[in-house]
Amino acid sequence: MKEMAEEAKTRSIRSILSDKRTSAYRKYKDLTIGDKGFFHLLIYEILSFFLVPLPGALGTLLRRVIYKGIFRSCGRGMIVGRNCVFRHPSKISIGSNVTIDDLTLIDARGADGEGILFEDGVIINRNSIVQSKGGDIVIGESVSIGANSTIVSRSGIWIDEDTVIAGGCNIAAGTFDYSDLSKRIAELEMTTAGPIVIGKNVWLARGVTILDGVRIGDDAIISAGSVVTGNIPPRSIAHGNPAKVVFTRR
């Protein structure tokens, strides 16, 4: 069973869904709760059916109280909006006073170690995605993630405290190894240059894209629409595609 769980963790969602040897039940279980038993799946389904779409203050209160039992750990004062999806919740840790807005996906399928960790005061605005396809995702204290943003890890993502990420940003590690032209794109393996690390008090303006292996230093600002392909030093203001340092804050 452990070997099957490890194999499922390293396989892509595409490969899991297209595997003809695996039953539909097993595929669904791998994608939602992993190697947990049928009882955990039953609880997950009941919560999803009754609590996920429940509106108003009652829905918010019940999710705050009952969701604590499915996460690895959960602090006080959590707010979870409507129609949020949590995959592999036993790998998700949530601090105190964390807000997760409507229509958000938190997927810890590929995480290990810390899993996905939201420290105290994290705000994730509506329709965002935080997904581990490999490695941990740690979002530090008082970090704000704007609406319609995507954070996808291949070998880990760390975002330090007080960082502000505007709407529509894309932080995504990994790329295809396309050197073998005999293979279709869908058959290619993903590679990664290493984790993405974003320092303290960083501001990513609207629509910024952060690519594989990038490190952004403390107090940096990345202007709207920029694509960051290389490291940005602390206190720098960077702009463009690829982003270049245009000013250093004093």
For the stretch 134-139, contacts whose Cβ atoms lie closer than 8 Å and that sit 24 or more positions apart, written own/partner, are 134/9, 134/10, 134/110, 134/174, 134/192, 135/110, 135/111, 135/173, 135/195, 136/111, 136/112, 137/108, 137/111, 138/114
Predicted local confidence at residue 9, as pLDDT = 44
Residue 71 pLDDT class (50, 70, 90 cuts): very high
37-69 pLDDT, tens digit per residue, is: 888 899 999 989 999 999 999 999 999 999 988
Predicted local confidence at residue 17, as pLDDT = 66
Structure tokens at 85: 């999806």
Lowest-confidence pick of 27-36, 118-127, 198-207: 27-36
Q: May I ask the CATH architecture of the domain 2-248?
A: 3 Solenoid (2.160)
Q: Name the average pLDDT for the chain.
A: 89
Inform me whether the pLDDT recorded for 90 exceeds 60.
Answer: yes
Instruction: Give the residue ranges of DSSP H helices in 102-193.
Output: none
More confident site: 3 or 73: 73
**Residue ranges covered by each domain of the chain:** 2-248
What predicted TM-score, i.e. pTM, was given to this entire model?
0.88
Predicted local confidence at residue 2, as pLDDT = 37
> Which is nearest to 103 in space by CA: 33, 171, 138, 52?
52
